[in-house]
Structure formats: structure tokens, C-alpha cells
């Protein structure tokens, strides 16, 4: 439990926090107007009632239903009142009570904002709004809102307790504790105040005092579920198993019909390997929610953990057989069989569902699953036959249309796929599967803005943040937007913090961003999920190298190498650490050993060439590159490095010879073709370079590096409108990145095409991202001069000269020429 977040740890347990708060509100204050005796005579005056009287009766009737716990009828009556006056505060308060009971934070937030706008002196509504701001992490607005509430009701215990919680979160413990104690004097049932005092004791390492505070608070208010959960956490931090059990027993006794708390207890029992008790609790969850399949599936998962796959299969089969009115169990059983590799048995279950189906919808659902299996097995013909049968029966069947769209995408018919998916989303606008497939279709068509929108909508609307977030993050990474990718992964991990794939992807993103401490943090998180995962040491090795903690990197990676020969990337990290630590001899010795043993000899020769080159042993480095070429003449890396070494020495003909040799062995390698274009450009043969990029674009139309290079080259050397317009169009995807180089290319292409205002905007954005990027500064100044803004142009050109310094004499010369003009 960290000091900053200890007070709110209870709300991070399986979504129980908001549930805990809502269940505990059964005895909360009544906000609505009291019922009046006139209700008794309402039928006699209904015929001539005014709109105001009708609104009053609807509101009072809603109150009655709310008191009885009939939320559905209460909702209808309050909404009837709001049809007469949409700003009727008592009806809005009634609706707020309903959405709070239904655990709908977004609707709660919207209603509270509307209520406090209409009735800005409603201290209770302001207090609840402040709590929501705090739960969302906006402490500043939360504090501002609670201060407004206190200005109207300075002695309200709940409001004082809420301010105590806010200040505690913000680190002002002294004032927070004083307010919390004052709130408890006024009302010992205030949860926030008890939580503040107890958490303060935890931070002072006084767990017994914290427990005493919680016990007193729970005696006064046994329905305060958050306090029960905090007590459990304290016991867990001390490994007090019996007390944990007793605390959960007390919580469940207070809320016997709330499965969320039983599930928390089940997780604890599983951690303690008390599987029989965990299974018994799961059976209780199933009894509480007999129509939800997840409980049944969890029992099967537990049986698999205890007695293996066969027992889990038996359990799921028995549930499916005993509950024929719950077809989801049959589908869950079939899905488990598929996961277990028993495809034939799964098909049998689906066929049985089709044979026994009482509705077309159920039969078509099973047929869709069979079609999925056929597609996965490569039986496209059989799948298409079955899909046609499904769509013949129901032309708007979403499963059939989604599979048809998938097949069209495989065939390259993106427009056809998009049309099918639009039909699905017209009928099922919340279909995550359709949105993800639509995103893929848009990306293939090059419409990345629409693809991103579909990914975002799918991510926002799904509970499966892990897999959807992973796909969305990978899309953003492909677009070069690693910052947003990091944000999406972080949000996904808030929901499922132990998801290995997302943790590993987040580590990769942070390494790419050179956030070495962040990468180290994620490595430790992965380690807590899976202790023996070798990727942890690879991440740590890279992170320590980035931090220039070469001793740490060497220690981690040498240990890895002792257990198992390092993979190529980790080997490269270790070699770099040796070199940077001034231990090149050890790197050389390690690599020679690998070459002698034939372990990754190609990569080892290249790494050794780098080590030798760093010691100015150029001829030996070239020899190792030649050795790598002899080992694998079809691989391009050695040619590329030898080419660059020769070019660095000014030996253009030797570089050309190496490049032609590489292309002779790997004629389709686009990386080598890019080097050939580079060689043409260095020789002033620009049109030859353009021709090469034109060729590469036929195979890699979405490669942002190729698009960037082509557009930059064309914008500089051509003047005809068609070429410049094409450079703008092809470089448009670069606009969606936060890469200053890419934005500079697109911005300059716009300027060259005569679209000055647009170009200046993009170039200004590039300079904002990289204030010392000489190319972008020069292009911005040139564009501003062309637009007649001489003051801004002069400023940008002087900055370009300063940024270019002695490293870019070409920029300095061109910028000075424009300034002289």
C-alpha cells in the first residue's frame, strides 16, 4: 500500500468500490420533498389538474416507488414529471437516487451537474459531485466544489468528511485529520472521515489503532462496505489469515445478496489454496445470479486448477445439460472444448444446439460459431456455404455480415467490407467486433483518422479493455503515436493490471520513448505476474543501459546468459553496456566465443564489427561484416552496414559495389533499394531516386518512412503542379503523427503546392514539437516570407541558423540568403 493512495485502495478491488458506496447508501439522507396528504385525493381532481399539479403528483408517486425499492416504476414517474418541466429539481434528484443505486457513474455525474446548475445552494448535491471529481482524480475541482458546499452548510458532517478525504489525497494530512475527527464527532457513521483516520494510522505503521477506528465506525454503521474492505486490506498486509476470513464473513453477512464481495473473498481463498471453500462460495454466487454464465465458468476454471482439464469439462457439461434453458452454458462448454483443442467435440455441441434450438436466433448463433471454426481451419468454402445459409435466413444477421466482411478484407475488397459492417453497426451500434473490423478496413484503405475513431469507440464501449486496448495501442504505434499508445495501455491496465501482453507492450513503448525508469517499473510489474519470464531481464538490461547504469545492465544480462544463451537483442544490449563501461575486451571475447560456437554467428559478427569500429579498427570491422555476408548472403544487414562504413570514408565506388552485391543476392529487399536511392541523391541523380521510391510505394503504400522520403524528395526537386499535389496527398498520413520530421515534410509539401496557410500551420506544429529542428525552422521561415509576414520569417530564419550551427551549412546558407533578400 503506497502512502499516496492508501486511503483509496479499497476502491481498486474488482470494481467493488462504487458498489460498496452505493450499497451503503440504504440509510442515506432523503433529498426529495416529503409526501403530502393531497395524494389521497388526487384521483378526484385529476381531470382538471394543471401541468404543475401533474408534475407534483408524478414526483410524489416516484418518491413512493423509490421508498419501496421499485426503481423501474420510480424512474417512469420521475421522467413523466420531467416531460412537463425538464428542470424540475426534485424529479432530477429522484433520478439521481436511481442511477446511484444502479451504479452508473457517468449518469450520476451528468445529473449532479444539472442539479447544481439549477440549485447552486444544494450542499448535498455539491458534496456528491465533489466525491465524483475525487474518484476521477481531479482533486482541484473536487476541493473547489466541496468548499462551495461548506459555504452553504458549514456544519454538515458528510461534507466535512469529504473535504478531509480530499485534503488527505492532496497530502495535507494535518488539516485532513482535524476535519475527519470533527466530522466523526458530529456523525460517527461518516465513511470518508473514518477512512482518513484509519489510513493515517496505517501510514504511521499503527495497524491495531487503524483496526480499532474501523471497528468503531462499523459498529455505528455496519453497512459501510468500504470500511469492511479497508479492514480486510490491513489484515492482508499482516498475513492475518483468520482475521481476513472473519472480516469477509462480516462483510458478506451484511450484504448476503451482493456477489461482488463474495468474489473478493473467493480470490482470497484461492490465494490461500482453500479451494473447497472457494468452490462453495462460487456456488453461492451462482445461486445469487443464476442467469449469468460467468459464475458457472468460474467453477469450471477452479475445477481445472484442482483436478485438471477433464474435470473442468465434466463440470461445464453437467451445467449445460442441467440447464437447457440457459444456452449460454452450452456455448461456454463448446468454447472450452475449442480452447482445449477438441474441435470435434465442440462441433458436436453446436450441432446439438442447432438441433434443439427453439428459435432461429439461437440456431443462427450456433451456425455462426461453426462458420468461425471453419474459417480458422482454413475451410473457406464450407464457411462461405454456411454464411450464405445464415444470411439467406436473416439478411441482416450481424455474425454472418461480420464474417462476410472478414472474407472481403482477406480478398482486398475494403469497400465491400465497410459496406457490410455499416449494416451491422446500423443495427448494433455498440458492436465492438464490428468496430474493430471496421477500423482494420479503414486502415487498409489509408483512412487512418476513421480507423482511429473506430478503435477509440470500441475501446471506450467495451469491458474487455485488455485485448481491445492492445489492438488500439498497436495501431497507434504503427502511426508513430507512442504517447497515446502509452495512455491507452495504462487505461487497459487499470482494468486488468496483470495482463502480460499489455505490460510487455507498455514496456516496449517506454523503452522506445527512452523512459528508462518507466520501463524498469513495468518490468517489476511483469515480474510480479510471472517471476521467471525472461523478458523482465531483457527490459531491465535495456533500461539500465539507457540510464547509463552499465554495471546494472551487465549484471542482469550476464546472469541471463549463464542460464541460457542470450537472444540477439539482449546480446546487443550487453555488448553496448560492455563498450560504454569501457570493457570492450570483454565484449570482443564474448562475441568471438559465440562465433566459434556457431551461436547466432551472423549477428555476432555484426556486433563484433560495431565493437571494432568503435575502437577505430575499421579494416577488422569490415572483415567481420564480410564474414557475416559469407554466412548468410541473402540477409541485408551486413551489406547495409558495410555500405554506410564505405560512404562514411568517402569510398563511393566501394559502397556502390557492396550495394549492388546485396541487391544481386536480395533483389526484392526494399531496405537496400532505399540505400540505392540514397546513393543516387548523394550523386545529384534525383529523378533516379524518385523512380526507386515510386517502385517501393507500389508494395508499401502505407509505410510512413517511404512516404516521408518520397514526399520530401519530390517537394524539393519538382515544380509541376501534378507532382506537388501528389506529394501532398501521399504525405497526408504523416499529419496524424507527432513526429516533427514527418510534419515538416507534409508542411513543406503544402507550401510547395501553393497551400501556404495550411503549410504554415503544419510547420508551426513541427517547430512546436522540435524547437531546434533546423529544417522545420528554415521551411517555416521561407513559408512566412512567401506569405508576406517578414517579421515572423526573420525570427524563424535566425532560429534556423542558430539551430543549424556548424553541422548543417546548407541550412545556414539558404537561411542567410533569404534574410539578405
Amino acid 43: pLDDT: 34
C-alpha span between 689 and 673 (Å, rounded): 9
C-alpha span between 111 and 100 (Å, rounded): 10
C-alpha span between 208 and 200 (Å, rounded): 12
Cell of 464: 474487455
Ramachandran angles phi, psi of 385, nearest 5°: -65, -45
Least confident of 18-27, 145-154, 255-264, 611-620: 18-27
Amino acid 30: pLDDT: 33
Q: Is the pLDDT of residue 765 over 80?
A: yes
User: Which residue's C-alpha cell is 446500423?
Assistant: 426
Burial class (CB in 10 A: 0-12, 13-18, 19+), 733: buried
Cell of 691: 523512380
Band (pLDDT 50/70/90 cuts) for residue 326 is: confident
Band (pLDDT 50/70/90 cuts) for residue 34 is: very low
User: Which residue's C-alpha cell is 439521481?
Assistant: 96
Provide the 3-class DSSP secondary structure of residue 773. Answer: coil
C-alpha span between 448 and 742 (Å, rounded): 15
What does the chain come to in residues?
A: 821
Closest C-alpha among 707, 715, 695 to residue 739: 707
Amino acid 18: pLDDT: 34
- DSSP string of 365-418? HHHHHHHHHHHHTT-HHHHHHHHHHHHHH-TT-HHHHHHHHHHHHHTT-HHHHH
Burial class (CB in 10 A: 0-12, 13-18, 19+), 253: exposed
C-alpha span between 209 and 314 (Å, rounded): 49
Summarised one tens digit per residue, pLDDT across range 197-247 is 988 888 888 999 989 989 998 998 898 888 888 898 888 888 888 998 999
Amino acid 531: pLDDT: 67
Whether 522 and 506 have beta carbons less than 8 Å apart is answered as yes
Amino acid 49: pLDDT: 59
User: Which residue's C-alpha cell is 447544481?
Assistant: 116
Q: Is the pLDDT of residue 17 over 70?
A: no
Name every residue whose Cβ is closer than 8 Å to that of residue 543 and which is 6 or more positions away in sequence: 511, 516, 517, 519, 520, 523
Helix (H) or strand (E) holding 102: none
Mean pLDDT of 432-447: 91
Q: Is the pLDDT of residue 747 over 60?
A: yes
Whether 437 and 406 have beta carbons less than 8 Å apart is answered as yes
Long-range contacts of 387-394 (CB under 8 A, 24+ apart): 390/364, 393/360, 393/364, 394/360, 394/364
10 Å Cβ neighbour count for 287? 10
Going by the DSSP 8-state scheme, the letter that residue 121 receives in this structure is T
Share of the chain above pLDDT 70, in %: 93
Whether 203 and 6 have beta carbons less than 8 Å apart is answered as yes
Q: How many CA atoms lie within 13 A of 14 on its CB side?
A: 11
Mean pLDDT of 4-22: 36
C-alpha span between 791 and 172 (Å, rounded): 49
Summarised one tens digit per residue, pLDDT across range 681-739 is 888 899 999 999 999 998 888 888 899 999 999 999 999 999 999 999 999 998 888 78
Whether 2 and 202 have beta carbons less than 8 Å apart is answered as no
Going by the DSSP 8-state scheme, the letter that residue 582 receives in this structure is T
10 Å Cβ neighbour count for 276? 10
End-to-end alpha-carbon separation of the chain, Å? 66
Band (pLDDT 50/70/90 cuts) for residue 799 is: very high
Name every residue whose Cβ is closer than 8 Å to that of residue 117 and which is 6 or more positions away in sequence: none
Band (pLDDT 50/70/90 cuts) for residue 133 is: confident
Cell of 297: 465458468
Cell of 446: 489509408
Mean pLDDT of 547-573: 75
Provide the 3-class DSSP secondary structure of residue 223. Answer: coil
Band (pLDDT 50/70/90 cuts) for residue 445 is: confident
Band (pLDDT 50/70/90 cuts) for residue 2 is: very low
Amino acid 690: pLDDT: 92
Whether 296 and 319 have beta carbons less than 8 Å apart is answered as yes
Q: How many CA atoms lie within 13 A of 146 on its CB side?
A: 26
Angle at 539 between CA 538 and CA 542, to 5 degrees: 85
Name every residue whose Cβ is closer than 8 Å to that of residue 356 and which is 6 or more positions away in sequence: 324
10 Å Cβ neighbour count for 341? 9
The chain-wide mean pLDDT, for the chain, equals 86
Whether 14 and 263 have beta carbons less than 8 Å apart is answered as yes
Whether 692 and 671 have beta carbons less than 8 Å apart is answered as no
Amino acid 516: pLDDT: 87
Whether 237 and 205 have beta carbons less than 8 Å apart is answered as no
Summarised one tens digit per residue, pLDDT across range 38-93 is 222 333 333 445 788 888 888 999 899 888 888 888 889 899 988 998 889 999 99
Whether 42 and 59 have beta carbons less than 8 Å apart is answered as no
Least confident of 32-36, 336-340, 384-388, 806-810: 32-36
Whether 382 and 415 have beta carbons less than 8 Å apart is answered as no
Summarised one tens digit per residue, pLDDT across range 570-581 is 788 888 888 888
Closest C-alpha among 259, 251, 207 to residue 6: 207
C-alpha span between 488 and 491 (Å, rounded): 5
Q: Is the pLDDT of residue 27 over 70?
A: no
C-alpha span between 586 and 606 (Å, rounded): 16
C-alpha span between 459 and 465 (Å, rounded): 6
Cell of 248: 469477509
Whether 77 and 58 have beta carbons less than 8 Å apart is answered as yes
Whether 202 and 171 have beta carbons less than 8 Å apart is answered as no
Going by the DSSP 8-state scheme, the letter that residue 379 receives in this structure is -
User: Which residue's C-alpha cell is 464490428?
Assistant: 434
Summarised one tens digit per residue, pLDDT across range 368-388 is 999 989 988 888 899 999 999
C-alpha span between 577 and 109 (Å, rounded): 52
Amino acid at each position: 500500500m503506497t502512502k499516496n493512495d492508501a486511503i483509496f485502495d479499497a476502491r481498486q478491488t474488482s470494481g467493488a468500490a462504487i458498489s460498496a458506496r452505493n450499497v451503503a447508501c440504504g440509510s442515506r439522507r432523503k433529498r426529495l420533498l416529503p409526501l403530502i396528504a393531497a395524494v389521497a385525493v388526487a384521483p378526484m381532481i385529476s381531470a382538471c389538474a394543471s401541468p404543475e399539479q401533474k408534475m407534483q403528483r408524478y414526483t410524489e408517486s416516484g418518491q413512493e416507488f423509490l421508498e419501496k425499492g421499485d426503481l423501474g416504476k420510480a424512474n417512469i414517474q420521475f421522467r413523466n414529471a420531467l416531460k412537463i418541466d425538464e428542470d424540475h429539481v426534485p424529479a432530477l434528484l429522484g433520478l439521481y437516487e436511481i442511477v446511484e443505486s444502479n451504479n452508473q457513474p457517468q449518469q450520476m455525474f451528468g445529473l449532479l451537474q444539472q442539479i447544481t446548475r439549477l440549485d447552486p445552494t444544494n450542499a448535498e448535491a455539491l458534496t456528491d459531485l465533489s466525491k465524483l471529481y475525487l474518484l476521477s482524480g481531479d482533486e482541484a475541482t473536487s476541493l473547489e466544489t466541496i468548499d462551495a458546499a461548506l459555504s452553504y452548510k458549514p456544519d454538515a458532517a458528510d461534507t466535512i468528511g469529504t473535504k478531509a478525504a480530499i485534503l488527505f489525497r492532496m497530502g495535507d494530512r494535518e488539516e485532513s485529520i482535524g476535519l475527519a475527527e470533527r466530522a466523526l464527532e458530529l456523525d460517527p457513521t461518516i465513511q470518508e472521515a473514518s477512512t482518513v483516520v484509519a489510513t493515517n494510522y496505517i501510514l504511521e505503521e499503527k495497524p491495531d489503532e487503524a483496526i480499532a477506528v474501523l471497528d468503531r465506525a462499523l459498529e455505528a454503521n455496519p453497512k459501510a462496505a468500504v470500511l469492511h474492505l479497508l479492514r480486510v486490506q490491513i489484515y492482508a498486509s499482516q498475513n492475518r489469515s483468520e482475521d481476513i476470513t472473519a472480516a469477509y464473513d462480516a462483510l458478506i453477512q451484511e450484504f448476503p445478496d451482493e456477489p461482488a464481495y463474495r468474489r473478493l473473498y473467493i480470490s482470497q481463498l484461492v490465494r490461500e489454496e482453500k479451494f473447497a471453500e472457494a468452490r462453495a462460495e462460487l456456488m453461492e454466487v451462482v445461486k445469487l445470479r443464476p442467469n449469468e454464465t460467468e459464475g458457472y465458468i468460474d467453477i469450471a476454471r477452479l475445477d481445472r486448477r484442482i483436478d485438471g482439464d477433464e474435470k473442468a469439462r465434466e463440470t461445464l457439461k453437467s451445467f449445460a445439460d442441467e440447464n437447457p434453458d440457459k444456452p449460454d452454458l452450452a456455448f461456454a462448454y463448446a468454447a472450452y472444448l475449442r480452447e482445449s483443442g477438441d474441435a470435434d467435440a465442440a462441433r458436436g455441441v453446436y450441432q446439438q444446439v442447432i438441433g434443439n434450438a427453439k428459435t432461429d436466433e439461437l440456431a443462427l448463433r450456433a451456425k455462426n460459431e461453426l462458420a468461425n471454426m471453419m474459417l480458422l481451419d482454413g475451410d473457406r468454402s464450407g464457411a462461405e456455404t454456411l454464411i450464405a445459409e445464415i444470411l439467406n435466413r436473416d439478411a441482416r444477421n450481424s455474425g454472418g455480415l461480420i464474417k462476410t466482411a472478414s472474407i472481403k478484407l482477406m480478398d482486398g475488397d475494403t469497400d465491400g467490407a465497410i459496406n457490410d459492417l455499416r449494416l451491422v453497426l446500423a443495427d448494433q451500434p455498440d458492436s465492438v467486433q464490428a468496430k474493430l473490423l471496421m477500423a482494420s478496413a479503414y486502415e487498409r484503405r489509408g483512412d487512418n483518422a476513421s480507423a482511429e475513431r473506430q478503435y477509440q469507440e470500441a475501446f471506450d464501449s467495451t469491458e474487455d479493455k485488455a485485448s481491445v486496448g492492445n489492438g488500439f495501442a498497436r495501431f497507434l504505434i504503427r502511426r508513430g503515436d507512442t504517447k497515446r499508445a502509452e495512455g491507452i495501455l495504462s487505461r487497459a491496465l487499470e482494468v486488468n493490471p496483470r495482463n502480460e501482453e499489455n505490460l510487455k507492450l507498455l514496456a516496449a513503448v517506454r523503452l522506445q520513448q527512452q523512459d528508462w525508469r518507466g520501463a524498469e517499473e513495468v518490468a517489476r510489474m511483469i515480474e510480479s505476474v510471472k517471476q521467471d519470464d525472461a523478458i523482465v531481464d531483457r527490459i531491465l538490461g535495456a533500461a539500465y543501459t539507457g540510464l547509463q547504469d552499465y554495471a546494472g545492465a551487465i549484471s542482469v544480462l550476464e546472469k541471463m546468459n549463464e542460464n541460457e544463451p542470450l537472444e540477439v537483442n539482449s546480446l546487443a544490449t550487453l555488448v553496448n553496456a560492455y563498450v560504454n563501461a569501457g570493457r570492450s575486451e570483454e565484449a570482443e571475447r564474448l562475441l568471438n566465443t559465440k562465433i566459434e560456437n556457431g551461436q547466432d554467428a551472423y549477428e555476432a559478427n555484426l556486433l563484433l564489427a560495431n565493437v571494432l569500429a568503435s575502437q577505430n579498427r575499421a579494416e577488422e570491422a569490415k572483415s567481420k561484416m564480410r564474414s557475416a555476408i559469407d554466412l548468410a548472403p541473402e540477409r541485408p544487414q551486413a551489406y547495409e552496414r558495410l555500405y554506410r562504413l564505405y560512404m562514411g570514408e568517402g569510398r563511393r565506388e566501394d559502397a556502390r559495389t557492396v550495394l549492388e552485391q546485396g541487391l544481386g543476392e536480395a533483389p526484392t529487399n526494399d531496405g537496400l533499394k532505399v540505400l540505392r536511392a540514397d546513393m543516387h541523391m548523394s550523386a545529384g541523380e534525383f529523378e533516379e531516386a524518385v523512380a526507386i521510391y515510386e517502385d517501393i510505394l507500389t508494395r508499401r503504400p502505407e509505410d510512413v518512412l517511404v512516404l516521408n522520403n518520397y514526399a520530401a524528395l519530390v517537394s524539393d526537386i519538382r515544380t509541376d503542379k501534378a507532382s506537388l499535389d501528389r506529394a501532398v496527398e501521399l504525405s497526408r498520413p504523416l499529419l496524424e503523427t507527432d513526429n516533427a520530421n514527418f510534419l515538416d515534410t507534409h508542411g513543406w509539401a503544402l507550401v510547395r503546392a501553393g497551400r501556404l496557410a495550411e503549410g504554415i500551420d503544419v510547420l508551426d506544429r513541427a517547430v512546436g514539437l522540435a524547437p531546434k529542428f533546423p529544417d522545420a525552422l528554415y521551411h517555416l521561415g521561407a513559408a512566412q516570407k512567401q506569405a508576406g509576414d517578414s517579421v515572423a520569417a526573420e525570427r524563424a530564419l535566425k532560429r534556423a541558423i542558430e539551430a543549424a550551427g556548424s553541422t548543417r551549412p546548407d541550412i545556414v546558407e539558404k537561411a542567410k540568403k533569404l534574410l539578405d533578400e
